[in-house]
Structure 1
């Protein structure tokens, strides 16, 4: 059995806890959210493309994402190299955050269920991407979908419909719905091509 140090899920969980601890220390001096949260203009603080994925607004927020990461990550990591797992986690989380901030900036904070400000923190977009990957990169899905020859646009539309349905079914007030949808969709698309499978 591999050690926890070799598990990309365990390493990511440790990173989430470490960043949260740093947030608490920084918060003693002043507001920490601005240093870690992704907000417009997107490239004014480029490091937040990464820090926003690992930072969390509260301990319950961190714990909820940690549970999801532990469940999905433990399965996905079995079929992925450590480098691919980490790259997938941070890139899907960053893209989910960018989509959340962009859509919230265009539509505004008065969309039901959307976060009330145009900034985002948390690993939920990346965690949803892991779940999307699991949904799309398994034998049952390969058998069901592989039996039909559907045009790429139809496949994308079906993936978006499934992602929207799951996002709405798991929605709670104040969550980043656009980030969850984006993560699920990115994960499902990556899963269909088995992106994380080692070369």
Structure 2
């Protein structure tokens, strides 16, 4: 049991969250908020500070933000990590979190350039995009979903449209002030699609039994 906890990618991520937040806080005191933001917050143009594509996934805007994401990660992380490997879990978390953050800042840049009064440059911090992806994966990778979808002949386009509607509905239902809605939607949609494809499923090293 103790070994399993030590190898848990969920607990590892929680530790990374805490360490990164401590570094953020220390840097904010020593060098000021601007220096901390330039190292951790993702914004456009991305090419100016490309490392923030990664660091923004593990950083948080405050202790309440960190606590909320930590609780959400525990709820979805422990059930999912039993179905995959730590390497796949961490790779999926980082990739979906990075894509969700990029979607948020690029969407704001495009819309803000076309519509007056809309902020064209936003700063993104936090793991919620990746956590929404984990949640979406759990929704579509379970046996019940496989059985329900398997009973109906649904095209790939129809499934994509359905998942987009579900992701939009859940995103709106969980919306609040200062929340990266586009990042949440993107992460959730990626998770729903990945769960349907079972991309995190462990590969069996044992050959299938033969039929006599």
TM range (shorter): over 0.9
Give 1:191 deviation, angstroms: 0.2
Give 1:116 deviation, angstroms: 8.8
Residue 9 (1) aligns with residue 10 (2) = yes
Once the two structures are superposed, residues 144-172 of structure 1 have per-residue CA deviations (whole angstroms, 9 ceiling, x without a partner) of 11111111111100000000000000000
Query: Are the aligned partners of 1:4 and 1:11 in contact in 2 as well (CA < 8 Å)?
Result: no
Residue 161 (1) aligns with residue 165 (2) = yes
Residue 53 (1) aligns with residue 57 (2) = yes
TM-score, normalising length: structure 2: 0.88
Distance 1:193 1:115, change over 3 A: farther
**1:21 alignment partner in structure 2:** 22
Once the two structures are superposed, residues 41-80 of structure 1 have per-residue CA deviations (whole angstroms, 9 ceiling, x without a partner) of 1122121111000000100011111111010000110001
Question: How many pairs align?
Answer: 196
Unaligned runs of 5+ in 1: none
**1:41 alignment partner in structure 2:** 45
* Runs of 4+ in structure 1 over 3 Å off: 114-117
Query: Are the aligned partners of 1:38 and 1:97 in contact in 2 as well (CA < 8 Å)?
Result: yes
**1:147 alignment partner in structure 2:** 151
Query: Are the aligned partners of 2:111 and 2:120 in contact in 1 as well (CA < 8 Å)?
Result: no
Query: Are the aligned partners of 1:56 and 1:121 in contact in 2 as well (CA < 8 Å)?
Result: yes
- 2: distance between equivalents of 1:30 and 1:60? 20
- 2: distance between equivalents of 1:81 and 1:47? 26
Query: Are the aligned partners of 2:167 and 2:185 in contact in 1 as well (CA < 8 Å)?
Result: yes
Unaligned runs of 5+ in 2: 204-212
Q: Aligned to 2:47, what secondary structure does the other structure show?
A: coil
RMSD after superposition: 1.7
- 2: distance between equivalents of 1:116 and 1:20? 27
**2:177 alignment partner in structure 1:** 173
TM-score, normalising length: structure 1: 0.94
- Bigger radius of gyration: 2
Query: Are the aligned partners of 2:112 and 2:119 in contact in 1 as well (CA < 8 Å)?
Result: no
